[in-house]
Chains A and B, each alone.
Chain A
Amino acid sequence: MSAGQLDTLGQEGLLSLYPERTRISVGMATCGLATGAQAVYDRLSQEIERTGCDVVLSKTGCLGFCQKEPIIDLFIPGKPRLTFVEMSPESAVEFIGAIAAGRVPTDGLLCRHDQELLLDDVFRDYCSEGEELTGVPLYTDVPFFAKQMKIALRNCGLVDPGSIEEYVARSGYSALHTVLSGTSPAELIEEVKLSGLRGRGGGGFPTGLKWEFTRRTEAEDRFIVCNADEGDPGAYMDRSILEGDPHSVIEGMIIGGYAIGASTGFIYCRTEYPLAIQRLEVALEQARLHGFLGDDIFGSGFSFDIRIREGSGAFVCGEETSLMHSIEGVSPEPGNRPPFPSESGLWEKPTNINNVETWSNIPPIALKGGKWYSAIGTEKSKGTKVFSLVGKVTNTGLVEVPMGITLREIIYDIGGGIPDDREFKAVQTGGPSGGCIPASLLDLPVDYERLAEAGSIMGSGGMVVMDEDTCIVDIAKYFLEFTNDESCGKCTSCRDGSDLMLAILTRITSGEGRPEDIDFLLELGEAVMDASQCGLGQTLPNPVLSTIKYFRDEYSAHIERAECPAHVCKPLIVYRIDPEACTGCTLCARNCSMSAIRGEPRKLHVIDTGRCTKCGVCYDVCKFNAVILE
C-alpha cells in the first residue's frame, strides 16, 4: 500500500458514500436490528426493485439515537442528507413511493445535515444552492445531538462497517500512513501524552504514560490488547463502536502496536456480542488484504497482526489480569499487581491493554495532534466521553460529549428529562464500581475528578437514570447481588464481605433491618475495599457507600419505620382501598388472581392483606385511583 493507493481507496469510498444517484442507508447495529431494521431494509429493497427507481441501498451502524430505531438516512445528490426515525416496513413503502415520484419523503423525518465534518477539518457540503430544505430542523439543532461532539463515534451511523473504502474516505488509515512515514515511536507517545487521553475502560489511567511504560520494558516482543469485554450494567458503547466502525479500533491498535513495539494484538470480545465479532472478522480480513496488517506495513518495516479472542460470560474477565489469564487459556482468576501488565503481561511479556473507546480515539489524535485533543474537556480530563443513557430517561441512546458538560445537560438537554412526569431521583454512573449521584449534584461537571469527589466514578460510561419510583436501597442491593455473583471467590474479603453486605441489605429491604445496620455497612465496606486484591472487590462497596451518603434517610425509613418511600420493597408495602374513591365496580376483585379482594357490586371493596401477594394488578386496573399503595 502506498500513499497513492490509499488515495484511490478513499476515492472509491467517496463514490460509495456519495454516489451520483440517490442513496439510502439503514442503521443495522444490534439496536436497529432488534427493532426490525432488517425488515425495513428488505422492504426498501423490494420497493426499489418494484418501482425501478434509481436508488442505492446500503447498511450502516448506529447513529446513537437508539430510542428512535430503526433509523435510515437519505442522500439525494445536491440536497442535504436527511435522517428518518422509527421506520417500519409499511413506512418504507411510502418512502420509496415518494422518491419514485420525485418527492422528498416526510414521514419520520427528524433532521437534515447540510454538511459533514471529516477528520482533517474538511467539511463536505451537501447542498447546492436553493436546495436547503430550510423547513426541516438542522441536525445540530436537534436537542439530542446539539451538545454532542463526536470523535470516538465519528463514523458510526454514516459509514458501512463492512466497507474499508468508506472508512478510508473518512480519513481512515491516513493517521497510520502519516505515523509510519516518519514519526518515531517516541514522538508518537509524546503526542498521546500531550493529548491527555485517559483510559476509557474505567480506571482513567493516562494512555500515553501506559504506552511509555510498556515500551520501556526491555523485551524481544510485546503485546497489545483491546479490552472489548464490556460488562458494566447499562453500558454498551464498545459494542456500538465495534459494530459501527471496527476499523477505527483496528487502526488505533496498529498505531499503538508501532508506538509500543508490539508485533501482535489481541481483541478480547465478549461472546454476547456476536455481531461485533463478525464485523471485526470482516474488517480484519480487509485490513490484511490491503496491507494495513501483516508484514512491512506501508513499506515501513513494521509488521503487526491482530487476533480475536472470545470471552464466555464472566464479568471479572474484563479486569486486565483476569483477561490475560483467559487469553492464555488458564483459569481466569485475577492475579496480583504488581507486576503490572506493562512489565509482565501475556506470557510474561510486556503487554499494553486499552479499552475499545480508548483505541478508537487514537487515529484522530495521531492525525490532528495531541494539542488539538487536549483543547477539549477540563483541566485533567481531556477530550470527549461516550455515555450510554438508559433507565428512566426520555431519550435513551449513546451520546458523546466533551468532558466537563454537566449531568443536567446530559440528562435533560440531551436526554429530554424524565418520562411520565416523574421526578429525577439519582443517576448511577460507573456500574458496580460506581455510585448514585442525587439531584442536588445535577450541575456537577462530568469528569474523572468531579465524579470521584461525588463518591462515584466515570467507569466505562454507563448512566442509569432513576426516577422517584426507584428504591435506592433496592438499587444498592441489586449491585451487590451482581458483584456477589461475579466475584471469583479468591479473596475472602470480597467473597464473604459481599455475602454479608448483601445479607444486611436483604434484611433492610425485607423490613427486618436493625438500627446498627447502616454503620455496620459503612465499616464493612471500608474493610472489603482495603483487603481485596482486584478492582472488583476494591470497588464493590461503592454503590452502597454512595447511596448511604446521599440517601441515608431512605435507609432509615426502611429500618426505623418499616417504610419504603418509593413503594418498591414488597414486604414493606400494603395495598389498601380508599373507601371514598371506591365505586364498587368489582374490576379489582375480578382481576385478583389470589381472590384477596372481597366486596359486592356497587359496595366498598376490601383487600385481605393476609392473602394479598402485592402483585399490584388491582392498582393497575382501577379506573378510579381507589387502590392506594402505602
Chain B
Amino acid sequence: MSRTPEEIVRASLEKHGSGREAVMEILTDVNRELGCIPEEAIIATASAVGVSNAEIYSVVSFYSFFSIKPRGRHIVRLCSTISCVMSGSAEVLEAVRDDLGIREGETTSDGRITLETTSCIGLCDQAPAMLVNDEPHTRLTPETARAIIAGLE
C-alpha cells in the first residue's frame, strides 16, 4: 500500500523538524514519492509549519519540478536549451509528441507518461538530451527517443 500525502508529510516532519526551513524538504519528499504535491500535502505542511496554505502554495508553484496536478508514472523531460536546440531537440520533441499524442505539460490518458521540456540539465556535451525520471539519455535522435519511451512500463 502506498502512503497517503499526510503520512508522507508526517514522516518527513520527523526527519526534518517542523521549522520553516523544513518546507522544501517536506515538499521534495512528497513530490518524489507521489510525482506531485496534492492539496492534502499542502494543507498538512502548512498546518505543521504554522503558515497559511497560500504561502506553501506559492512555494510549490515557484518550482518547475513541483506539480500540483497528478503526473504520469514516468516523467520525460526533454532539454530545450540552446545547445540541445542546435543539435536537433525540436525534431526529437516533435517525434515524441506525435508518438504519445500529447503536448508538453500533458500526461497520456493511461497515466503512463508526462511530457515536459526543461531548461538546461547540464548534458550539453552530448546534446540533445533528456531526463526520464532521474535517468539521463543523450545524443538523442527521433528514433532513439521513441524507442526509449516505448520501453517505459
Interface residues of A (CB under 8 A from B): 30-31, 33-35, 66-67, 69, 230-236, 239, 271-274, 309-315, 326-332, 388, 390-392, 396-398, 428, 462, 464, 466, 470, 475, 478-479, 482, 485-486, 488
Tell yes or no: B150 within 8 A of A by CB. no
A315 to B24, CA, bound (A): 16
For chain B, which range describes its interface: under 10, 10 to 19, 20 to 34, or 35 or more residues? Answer: 35 or more
- Using A233-B124, A272-B131, A330-B23 as known contacts, list a sample of 4 further A-B pairs with CB atoms less than 8 Å apart, ordered by residue number in A: A35-B138, A231-B120, A310-B28, A392-B86
Q: Are A329 and B22 touching (Cβ within 8 A)?
A: yes
A236 CA / B139 CA spacing, docked (Å): 16
Nearest-neighbor residue (CB-CB) of A326 within chain B:
B24
Asked, given contacts A312-B63, A478-B82, A479-B82, whether A328 binds B21 with beta carbons under 8 Å apart, the answer is: yes
Please name all residues of chain B whose beta carbon is closer than 8 Å to the beta carbon of A274 when the two chains form the complex.
Answer: 134
* Complex interface: chain B residues within 8 A of A69 (CB): 126
User: Given A30-B136, A329-B21, A464-B82, are A236 and B124 also a contact pair (CB < 8 Å)?
Assistant: yes
B64 touches A312 (CB 8 A): yes
CA distance A309 to B127 in the complex (A): 28
User: When the two chains form their complex, are residues B119 and A396 in contact, meaning their CB atoms are under 8 A apart?
Assistant: no
What is the total of A-B residue contacts with beta carbons within 8 Å?
137
Q: Is there a chain A Cβ closer than 8 Å to B151's Cβ?
A: no
Q: Are A486 and B85 in contact (CB under 8 A)?
A: no
Pair A478/B85 contact, Cβ less than 8 Å: yes
Q: Which B residues are CB-close (under 8 A) to A332?
A: 59, 62
B99-153 residues with Cβ-Cβ distance < 8 A to A are 118-127, 129, 131, 134, 136-139
17 contacts across the A-B interface (CB closer than 8 A): A33-B136, A234-B82, A239-B122, A272-B118, A272-B122, A311-B63, A312-B64, A312-B66, A313-B64, A313-B65, A314-B63, A329-B20, A331-B55, A331-B59, A332-B62, A428-B82, A462-B124
Question: Chain B's nearest CB lies how many Å from the CB of A31?
Answer: 6
A329 contacts which chain B residues (CB < 8 A)? 19-24, 49, 59
Q: Is B83 an interface residue (CB 8 A)?
A: yes
Contact A34/B65 with A233-B81, A233-B83, A315-B119 known, Cβ cut-off 8 Å? no
Contact call A470/B125, Cβ cutoff below 8 A: no
In this assembly, does B58 line the interface, its C-beta being within 8 Å of a C-beta of chain A? yes
Q: Does B31 contact A (CB under 8 A)?
A: yes
Known: A33-B136, A272-B118, A326-B24. Is A236-B123 also a contact (CB below 8 A)? yes
Q: Mark B70-105, 1 if CB is under 8 A from A, else 0.
A: 000000000001110110000000000000000000
Cβ–Cβ contact B58 & A331, under 8 A:
yes
Report yes or no: A328 in contact with B20, Cβ–Cβ below 8 A.
Answer: yes
Which residue in chain B gives the minimum CB-CB distance to A398? B125
Assuming the contacts A35-B139, A273-B122, A312-B24, asked whether A234 and B83 have C-beta atoms less than 8 A apart, the reply is yes
Enumerate the 9 nearest inter-chain pairs by beta-carbon distance, A residue then B residue, closest first: A329-B23, A236-B122, A313-B65, A312-B63, A66-B125, A313-B64, A390-B124, A233-B81, A34-B138
Chain A residue with Cβ nearest B82: A233
Kindly identify, within residues 7 to 22 of chain B, every residue whose CB is under 8 Å from any CB belonging to chain A. 19-22
With A271-B28, A272-B118, A329-B21 already in contact, the answer to whether A31 and B83 are too (CB < 8 A) is: no
| Min CB gap B9→A, angstroms | 14
Closest to B28 in A: A310
Indicate if the CB atoms of A470 and B86 lie closer than 8 Å: yes
Contact B122 A235 (CB under 8 A): yes
Contacts of A272 in B (CB 8 A): 65, 118, 121-122, 131
Q: Give the complex CA separation of A309 and B62 in angstroms.
A: 16
Partner of A390, one of B19, B125, B134: B125
Residue of B nearest to A474 (CB): B85
Bound: A462/B64 CA distance, A:
23
Question: Which residue, of B28, B63, B82, B86, has the highest number of chain A Cβ atoms within 10 A?
Answer: B82
Cβ contact within 8 Å between B123 and A34: yes
Give the CA-CA distance A34 to B81 in the complex, in Å. Answer: 18
Q: Which residue of A lies closest to B20 (CB)?
A: A329
